Structure 1
Amino acid sequence: MKRLFGIVVAMLYGGSAFALVWSTGMYDGFARDPWLSAASLVVCITAAVSLAYISTLLMVFLTGRSPEPGDPEAFDWHLLVPCRDEESVIAATVSAARSSFPGAHLWIIDDASDDGTASVVRRLMEFDDRIHLISRVRPDARLGKGEALNDAYRTVSARIGDDPEMRRRTVIGVLDADGYLSDNALAAIAGPDAFGDSRVGAVQIEVWMKNRNDMRPLPGRGRIANAFGRYLVRMQDVEFRTTNSAMQLFRVQTGSVGMGGNGQFTRLDALDAVAERFGAPWGRKLSEDYELGLHILELGYRNHYTRAAHVSQEALPYGRRLLTQRTRWAQGIMECASILPALRRSRTVRPLGLLEVNFFMSQPLLMMLNLILLPILIVTAVVRGQFGTFDVGTTASLVAALLAYLILPYAVWGPIYRHIARDERRVRTGVLVGLGMLIYVYATYLYYPRAIGRMLTGRNAWAKTKRNADDVVPVPTAVSDRLLTVPLVDPVVLEDLAGELDQRNDLALEFVAAFAVMWPTRLARISAAIDAEDTVAGRDAAESIRVSATMVGAGRLSLVGSEMTDLVRAGDFEYARRRLQLLSDIGTETVDEFRTNYLAALKGID
Structure 2
Amino acid sequence: MTDAFRFFLTLLDLAGLILLVLYFVQMGLAAVLPARRLRFPAPAALKFTFVIPALNEGLVIGATVETLRALAPEAQVVVVDDASDDDTGRVVQALAAQDSGVSLLRRTLPQARQGKGLALNWAVQQLLNRLRIDGADLTREIFVIVDADGRITPELLGEASSAFADGRVMGAQARVRIRPSVLSLAPRTLSGRMLEQQQDMEFFIIRHLQHLRQRWHSVGLFGNGQFMRASYVHEQFRQGRLAWPDCLLEDFASGVEMRLAAPDHRMIFLDSAVTQQGLPDLRRFIRQRARWTQGAMQCLGYLPRLWSAGMPWLARLDLSYFILGPWLNAVIVLSLLTQPFRWAFGAHGLILDPLVSALITGVNVVLQLQWVARYQREHRLNTGQVLFTLVSLPVYGFALLLSLPLAYWNHFSGRRTWDKSSRHVEPGEAVPSMNGD
What's the TM-score, normalizing by structure 1?
Answer: 0.65
User: Matches of 2:216 and 2:360 in 1, distance apart?
Assistant: 31
Larger RCO (alpha carbons 8 Å, 6+ apart): 2
Out of 203, 212, 222, which is 1:260 matched to? 222
Structure 1 residue aligned with 2:428? 527
Q: Which amino acid aligns with 2:256?
A: L
Pairwise CA distance, 1:376: 4.5
SS at 1:138's partner residue? coil
Distance 1:385 1:311, change over 3 A: closer
Matched, 1:437 2:397: no
Pairwise CA distance, 1:398: 8.1
1:414–1:431 contact (8 Å) kept in structure 2: no
Q: Which amino acid aligns with 1:51?
A: F
Pairwise CA distance, 1:72: 5.9
Q: Which amino acid aligns with 2:410?
A: R
Distance 1:81 1:384, change over 3 A: closer
Distance 1:429 1:162, change over 3 A: same
Q: Which amino acid aligns with 2:266?
A: R
Q: Deviations over 1:490-522 (max 9, x none)?
A: xxxxxxxxxxxxxxxxxxxxxxxxxxxxxxxxx
1:299–1:346 contact (8 Å) kept in structure 2: no
Q: Deviations over 1:556-598 (max 9, x none)?
A: xxxxxxxxxxxxxxxxxxxxxxxx67xx88xx86xxxxxxxxx
User: Matches of 2:77 and 2:38 in 1, distance apart?
Assistant: 27
Out of 172, 194, 197, which is 1:203 matched to? 172
Structure 2 residue aligned with 1:477? none
Pairwise CA distance, 1:328: 0.3
Structure 1 residue aligned with 2:409? 453
Q: Deviations over 1:319-355 (max 9, x none)?
A: 00100000001100111111221232222x2111111
Q: Which amino acid aligns with 2:314?
A: L
Matched, 1:410 2:381: no
Q: Deviations over 1:112-162 (max 9, x none)?
A: 111111111111112211111111122222221112111221121112117
Q: Give the stretch that moved more between structures: 76-85 or 436-445.
A: 436-445
Distance 1:402 1:339, change over 3 A: closer
Q: Which amino acid aligns with 1:195?
A: F
Distance 1:277 1:269, change over 3 A: same
Distance 1:70 1:235, change over 3 A: farther
Matched, 1:302 2:266: yes
Structure having the larger proportion of residues in helix = 1
User: Matches of 1:72 and 1:126 in 2, distance apart?
Assistant: 32
Paired residues in the alignment total 430
User: Matches of 1:94 and 1:426 in 2, distance apart?
Assistant: 35
Structure 1 residue aligned with 2:132? 161
Structure 2 residue aligned with 1:550? none
Distance 1:372 1:187, change over 3 A: same
Distance 1:70 1:183, change over 3 A: farther
Pairwise CA distance, 1:431: 4.7
Structure 2 residue aligned with 1:333? 296
Give the RMSD, CA atoms, in angstroms.
3.1
1:110–1:136 contact (8 Å) kept in structure 2: yes
Matched, 1:420 2:378: yes
User: Matches of 2:200 and 2:403 in 1, distance apart?
Assistant: 19
Out of 188, 191, 211, which is 1:249 matched to? 211
Matched, 1:109 2:77: no
Matched, 1:59 2:32: yes
Structure 1 residue aligned with 2:419? 463
Q: Which amino acid aligns with 2:109?
A: R
Q: Percent identity?
A: 27
Distance 1:70 1:229, change over 3 A: farther
Q: How does 1:20-99 map to 2 (within 5 A)?
A: 34-60=7-33, 63-64=34-35, 74-99=45-70
Structure 1 residue aligned with 2:190? 227
Pairwise CA distance, 1:366: 1.8
Q: Deviations over 1:352-403 (max 9, x none)?
A: 1111111112222222212323674893799379999x9xxx6xx5895465
User: Matches of 2:171 and 2:350 in 1, distance apart?
Assistant: 52
User: Matches of 1:72 and 1:143 in 2, distance apart?
Assistant: 38
SS at 1:465's partner residue? coil
Out of 271, 275, 279, which is 1:316 matched to? 279
Q: Which amino acid aligns with 2:219?
A: V
Distance 1:70 1:123, change over 3 A: farther
Q: How does 1:269-288 map to 2 (within 5 A)?
A: 269-288=231-250
Q: Which amino acid aligns with 1:49?
A: L
SS at 1:372's partner residue? helix
- Extract unaligned runs of 5+ from structure 1: 1-29, 218-222, 470-523, 529-579, 590-606
1:202–1:267 contact (8 Å) kept in structure 2: yes
Distance 1:271 1:387, change over 3 A: closer
Matched, 1:136 2:100: no
Q: Deviations over 1:196-231 (max 9, x none)?
A: 22111100001111226x4159xxxxx312121111
User: Matches of 1:408 and 1:340 in 2, distance apart?
Assistant: 33
SS at 2:137's partner residue? helix
Distance 1:55 1:153, change over 3 A: same
Pairwise CA distance, 1:244: 1.6
Distance 1:409 1:165, change over 3 A: same
Q: Which amino acid aligns with 1:264?
A: Q
SS at 1:468's partner residue? coil
Out of 177, 183, 188, which is 1:215 matched to? 183
2:44–2:164 contact (8 Å) kept in structure 1: no
1:210–1:315 contact (8 Å) kept in structure 2: yes
